[in-house]
């Protein structure tokens, strides 16, 4: 089962929570399950977001920009793995996901767009 990310922790939902199958679109084979999280999981996520906002809202803009650049760098480092996951779950071909082939799927290009937006925000 694919866990939920709540705060900074991956959590499996409570016992008894229903799930939906994730299918490989090429083969129709079930490759994973996603939880149909209930109110307890949603409440925990909202509480984590409220707590995160309390510190994030006080973070200086330049620190936020630095963190977003780090995020972009991590996406670029993991691009091949991310592309493989998207292919497995959504059926897009790997060739279609290579940088430059489709701006909507080009994580590094979107990151460059964010660089521009972050620079404008400063």
Question: Looking at the predicted structure, is the pLDDT value of residue 94 above 50?
Answer: yes
pLDDT digits (tens, 9 = 90+) for 40-87: 889 999 999 999 999 999 999 999 999 999 988 898 888 888 888 888
Averaged pLDDT for residues 31-41: 90
User: What's the number of domains the chain is made of?
Assistant: 2
Cα separation, 50 vs 41, in Å, equals 14
Cα separation, 65 vs 73, in Å, equals 12
| Residue-range definition of the domain harbouring residue 102 | 59-122
Residues 122 and 68 in one domain: yes
Cα separation, 32 vs 53, in Å, equals 32
- For 61, half-sphere exposure in the C-beta direction (CA atoms, 13 angstrom radius) is 7
Helices 107-121, 61-77: crossing angle, 10 deg rounding: 170
Among candidate residues 17, 36, 58, the one where a domain is terminated: 58
Entry field: residues in the chain: 122
Residues 54 and 100 in one domain: no
């Amino acid at each position: 089962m694919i866990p939920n990310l709540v705060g900074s922790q991956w959590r499996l939902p409570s016992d008894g929570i229903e799930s939906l199958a994730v299918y490989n679109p090429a083969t129709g084979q079930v490759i994973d399950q996603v939880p149909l999280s209930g109110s307890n999981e949603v409440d925990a996520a909202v509480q984590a977001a409220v707590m995160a906002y309390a510190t994030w809202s006080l973070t200086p803009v330049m620190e936020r920009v630095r963190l977003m650049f780090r995020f972009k760098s991590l996406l670029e480092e993991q691009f091949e793995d991310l592309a493989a996951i998207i292919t497995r779950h959504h059926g897009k071909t790997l060739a279609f996901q290579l940088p430059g082939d489709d701006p909507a799927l080009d994580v590094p290009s979107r990151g460059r767009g964010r660089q521009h937006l972050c620079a404008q925000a400063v």
